[in-house]
Chains A and B, each alone.
Chain A
Amino acid sequence: MIQITIDGKNINARKGDNLVDVALANGVYIPTLCYMKGEPCLGTCRVCSVKVGGTVAAACTVPVSHGMEVVVNEPEITDMRKALVESLFAEGNHNCPSCEKSGRCDLQAVGYEVEMMVSRFEYRFTPRVRDYGSEKILLERDRCIFCQRCVEFVRDEETGKKIFSISRRGANSRIEINEELANKMTEEQVARAVDLCPVGTIVEKKIGFNDPIGKRKFDIKSIRDRALEGAMK
C-alpha cells in the first residue's frame, strides 16, 4: 500500500494502479473519453487532465506512486478540462438533436459533467464525407474524436487485423473502415463497436433512435454516477 493525496485528501492505494480508477474508488470522478477500464491506456483525448505534482497530466496515463499529490477539482484544471471538451464540440459537427447516439453518447454526457453550455471556440463546420460502404455500419465522420478505441479494440476475429484505421494527419485526419473485414463482423461485434465508440461515429445501420428521450442510457443515470458505481463493484 502507498499513500497519495487527491485534492488534499489522504488516500491509500496500490502502487501502479491507474489514477482514474484510484480516484473513482475514492469517490472522485475524473471525466474520460478514450480510457476503458481493463484495456491498455490510449491517452488520446486528454479529457482526464488533472494536476500531478503541479504538472498537468492525463490521469489515465498515470500509475500512482507513493507521495503523489493530485489536484482534480480546482478552478484552473476544471476549466482546462472544460475547454478540451468544448474544443471537441467546435472541431466536429456535433448536432446532438439529429444524432442517433444522443442520450447514450459519452462526449455529450461528459459535456454535461463539465457544465458546458457553449463552446468558447469558433465552430468550424468542416465538411466531412460519410461512409455508407459497409453492410452493417455507417461511419459518420463529423463526430469522430480520434480516440482510437475502435482502431485498437475492434479486430477481425480470424486474422486479428484492424478493421478501423486513421488516415492522413492533423486537421485532415480521417477515420476509415475496411469494408471487407467490417462485413465479416458478427452482430455482437457490431453492437460492441457501436457501444465502444464514445460518440456517434460508428452507427449500426437499420437501428435508429430506439430508446425514447427520458429512457436513454444517460437520461436514466449520469456518466458520473455510472463511473462511480462501476468503481464500487
Chain B
Amino acid sequence: MSNHSLKNVDPADNVMFSHDLPKTPVDAEFLATQEGKIKVSMIALVGCWGCTLSFLDMDERIFTLLDKVTILRSSLTDIKRIPERCVVGFVEGGVASEENIETLEHYRENCDILISVGACAVWGGVPSMRNMLPLSECLDEAYIHSITAVPGVIPIIPNHPDLTKVTTKVYPCHEVVKMDYFIPGCPPDGDAIYKVLDDLVNGRPVDLPTSMNRYD
C-alpha cells in the first residue's frame, strides 16, 4: 500500500505529485535579478481561498515591493511547493487533516517568519464549526445521511489510503506550530496584508493599526 504522506513518498511507487512535475525553466537572466531579494510565499490549508484573493488585492502596490521582494509559492505564481527557504510565509486556513499538519510543519521549517492570515488560520473559522460535534456525526451527515445522497446508492464514508485523514478537530495554525504574527479578518483586506509585508520588508516592527484590524 502506498504511503502518500508528503514526507515519505517512495519513488518506486511511481507516484508523482503536481508539485514534482517538471517546471518550465525560468529565464536565467531574470532569475539572477531575484538573487538576494526577500523571499515570500503564501500557502492555503483549510480555508476558502478568500485570504489568498486578498493577497492578490495588494494589486499594483506589489510592484513597489518587487525591487526588494521575490514571490515564490503563491496565487500569483504557479509554484506548488516552496522551492527554497523563505523569509516570510503567509498561511491561509486552519488545520483539519494530516496533510495540513505536514504542509504547515514543512512550511514552518522553511520560513523564518510565519503569519496567520484570516479567521480560519487565526482561530479555525468556519471549518471549526464542526468542533462542536463529534467527527463521526459530521461524516455521517456528509456521507451517510446526506441530503444530496444519490437515491439507490449504498452510502459509504470514503476511506481510501490516497485520502488524507481528517483530524478530530479543526485547529488554528498556532496550536500546531509557532506562528509569529496574526492578521485577522474574513478575509482581511489586501491593505492589511500589504501593511504587514511592507513593515517587514522595510525592517519596521509589524504594526497593524486598529483601523485595519477586522474580525469579519
Contact = CB atoms under 8 A, between A and B. Distances in A.
Q: Chain B binding site: helix, strand, loop or mixed by DSSP?
A: mixed
Interface string A73-112: 0000000000000000100011111110011000010011
Interface residues of B, number: 27
Interface in B172-209: 172, 174-175, 181-184, 186, 208
Most B Cβ at <10 Å: residue of A95, A98, A102, A103: A95
Interface string A113-128: 1010111001101110
Given A95-B126, A123-B124, A125-B128, A115 B213 contact: yes
A97 B122 contact: no
Most A Cβ at <10 Å: residue of B116, B131, B183, B208: B131
A112 B210 contact: yes
Nearest to B132: A127
Contact of A95 (B125, B172, B183, B210): B125
Contact of A222 (B125, B169, B175, B210): B210
B216 interface: yes
A116 to B, nearest CB: 8
B215 A118 contact: no
A99 B216 contact: yes
B183 A103 contact: no
A117 B131 CA distance: 21
Interface string B103-145: 0000000000000100100111110110111000000000000
Interface in A203-229: 213, 222
B169 A125 contact: yes
Given A117-B184, A122-B175, A125-B132, A97 B213 contact: no
A118 B210 contact: no
B182 A117 contact: yes
Nearest to A102: B216
A123 B182 contact: no
A118 B122 contact: yes
B182 A96 contact: no
A123 B127 CA distance: 14
